[in-house]
């Protein structure tokens, strides 16, 4: 677009137009001087001026003379017109370039704003998801605490002779208590400090209890000598909670995923699934 000052400026103030006027005056001056001062001499004197000759000439010669004069003026103003258009096009091109730069900057600004909005949206989603994960971890800790309050599983000390610990019906003899292994180490069975632990510390403690219990059950197939079995519903609940947490963790930030790895949630889930495959349960829902 043409600059506003160009739009407000009269055309007669433009340099090409002024030069065109000067050249027009020059052409008029040259033509007039040539007509008044020039002479035409024939074979017989006297000589006459070109103006007198032009006046006395036939119409076709007068037309040819005026056509030559008008052609000179037309050529001058053709150059002036091209000059004016070239100047205007140059200014328009410069203005278009400025507009293109402005649009490019505007597009970059919009892209930056869009990235900020996307980052904020992701941050909000991750914050909400982190709150959900904390709620799931809290529910898992409570489920583990309930399991720790249950009677522990009982196992015979001997590998082969079970007769001293169960009667003919297979019931455990009260006077011969077997070795007991708790599923989770609750506050009364562990070295919990008297001050409440943080959520992460509680989850980590329960994870370590499962990791520590699993080798005891696998050593010499101890689980096959379980005579006091427990229900598996609470363990299945913990496995489902851990599985839900791990599925949601894929959308968490890197820091939150590292946190879950440090809490050994995956290791707890895998250990409990291995336990559910063992002969430790007095019900039929021992499935992961």
Q: Are strands 39-40 and 179-181 parallel, antiparallel or unpaired?
A: unpaired
Please list, residue by residue across 16-39, b when 16 or more beta carbons sit within 10 angstroms of its beta carbon and e when fewer do.
Answer: bbeebeebeeebeeebeeebeeee
The Cβ-side half-sphere exposure at 98, using a 13 Å CA radius, reads: 9
Residue 252 has phi, psi (to 5 degrees) of -80, 165
Q: How far apart are CA 69 and CA 140, in angstroms?
A: 105
Residue that is written with structure tokens 């506003």 in the block: 4
Q: Are 280 and 217 in contact (CB under 8 A)?
A: yes
187, with CB counted inside 10 A (0-12, 13-18, 19+), is middle
The Cβ-side half-sphere exposure at 256, using a 13 Å CA radius, reads: 20
Q: How far apart are CA 59 and CA 237, in angstroms?
A: 118
pLDDT score, position 261: 92
pLDDT in tens, the chain (288 residues): 445 555 566 766 778 888 888 888 888 888 887 777 766 665 556 666 677 777 777 877 778 777 888 888 888 888 888 888 888 888 889 889 899 999 999 999 999 998 999 888 888 888 899 999 999 999 999 998 888 877 777 776 654 444 455 555 655 555 554 566 666 665 444 444 444 578 999 999 899 888 888 887 776 566 676 777 778 888 899 999 999 999 988 888 888 889 999 999 999 999 999 888 887 887 754 444
pLDDT score, position 209: 87
Q: How far apart are CA 210 and CA 144, in angstroms?
A: 10
Q: How far is CA 255 from CA 26, 124, 252, 267, in A?
A: 85, 15, 8, 19
- One-character DSSP codes across 135-188: HHHHHHHHHHHHHHTSPPEEE-SSSS--TTTB-TT-PBPTTS--EEE-SS--TT
Terminal CA-CA length for the chain: 73
- pTM of the shown model: 0.55
Contacts (Cβ under 8 Å, ≥6 apart) of 169: none
């Amino acid at each position: 677009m043409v600059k506003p000052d160009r739009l407000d400026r009269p055309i007669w103030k433009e340099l090409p137009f002024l030069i065109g006027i000067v050249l027009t005056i020059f052409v008029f001056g040259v033509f007039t001087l040539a007509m008044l001062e020039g002479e035409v001499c024939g074979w017989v004197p006297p000589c006459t001026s070109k103006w007198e000759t032009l006046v006395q000439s036939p119409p076709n010669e007068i037309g040819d003379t005026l056509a030559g004069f008008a052609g000179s003026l037309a050529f001058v103003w053709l150059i002036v017109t091209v000059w004016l258009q070239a100047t205007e096009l140059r200014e328009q091109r410069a203005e278009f370039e400025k507009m293109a730069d402005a649009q490019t900057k505007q597009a970059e600004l919009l892209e930056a704003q869009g990235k900020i909005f996307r980052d904020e949206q992701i941050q909000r989603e991750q914050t909400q998801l982190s709150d959900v994960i904390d709620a799931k971890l809290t529910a898992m800790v409570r489920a583990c605490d309930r399991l720790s309050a249950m009677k522990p599983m009982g196992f015979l000390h001997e590998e082969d002779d079970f007769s001293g610990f169960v009667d003919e019906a297979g019931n455990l003899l009260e006077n011969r208590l077997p070795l007991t292994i708790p599923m989770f180490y609750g506050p009364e069975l562990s070295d919990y400090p008297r001050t409440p632990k943080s959520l992460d510390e509680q989850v980590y403690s329960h994870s370590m209890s499962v990791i520590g219990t699993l080798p005891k059950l696998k050593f010499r197939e101890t689980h096959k000598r379980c005579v006091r079995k427990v229900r598996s519903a609470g363990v299945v609940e913990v496995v489902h909670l851990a599985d839900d947490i791990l599925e949601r963790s894929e959308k968490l930030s890197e820091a939150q995923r590292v946190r879950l790895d440090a809490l050994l949630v995956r290791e707890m889930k895998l250990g409990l699934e291995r336990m559910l495959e063992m002969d430790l349960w007095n019900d039929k829902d021992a499935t992961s």
